């Protein structure tokens, strides 16, 4: 029995988003971070100085480790933002700005 069956959840119709051009299936109500995890992606940003990989750390919007570019807006916290149909998600290097 999967979690949806356990909770007797009846989510609405799914949709797709893209991550660096790759199409990902999404169940409604998921955050960007949940969508990326479900796709097997655990890091989507590199740090400014050392280029170290980052993804979710706190999962509650406090640490800012999960920053990602969504619809050309850099530095969005993936753990807080709900995925929306057609979102264009891009991995992010450093500040996410062209500097």
Comparison of 9 and 62: residue with beta carbon closer to ligand FES: 62
Q: What DSSP string runs through 48-84?
A: TTT--EE--SSSSSSS-TTEEEETTEEEEETTTPBP-
Q: Does 57 bind ligand FES (CB under 6 A)?
A: yes
**Structural contact between residues 91 and 22, judged by C-beta atoms closer than 8 angstroms:** no
Asked if residues 74 and 97 have their Cβ atoms less than 8 Å apart, the reply is yes
Q: Which residue of 70, 77, 81, 87 would you call a contact of ligand FES, by CB under 6 A?
A: 77
Is 85 an interacting residue with respect to ligand FES (CB under 6 A)? no
Q: Give CA–CA dist 14/55, Å, rounded.
A: 24
**Residue with Cβ nearer ligand FES (64 or 86):** 64
Q: Does 70 bind ligand FES (CB under 6 A)?
A: no
Q: Which residues bind ligand FES (CB under 6 A)?
A: 56-59, 61-66, 77, 79
């Amino acid at each position: 029995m999967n979690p949806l069956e356990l909770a007797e959840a009846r989510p609405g119709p799914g949709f797709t988003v893209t991550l660096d051009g790759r199409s990902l299936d999404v169940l409604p109500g998921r955050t960007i971070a949940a969508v990326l995890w479900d796709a097997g992606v655990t890091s989507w940003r590199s740090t400014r100085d050392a280029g170290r990989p980052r993804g979710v750390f706190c999962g509650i919007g406090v640490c800012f480790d999960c920053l990602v570019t969504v619809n050309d807006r850099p530095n969005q916290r993936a753990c807080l933002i709900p995925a929306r149909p057609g979102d264009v998600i891009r991995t992010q290097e450093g500040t996410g700005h062209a500097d």
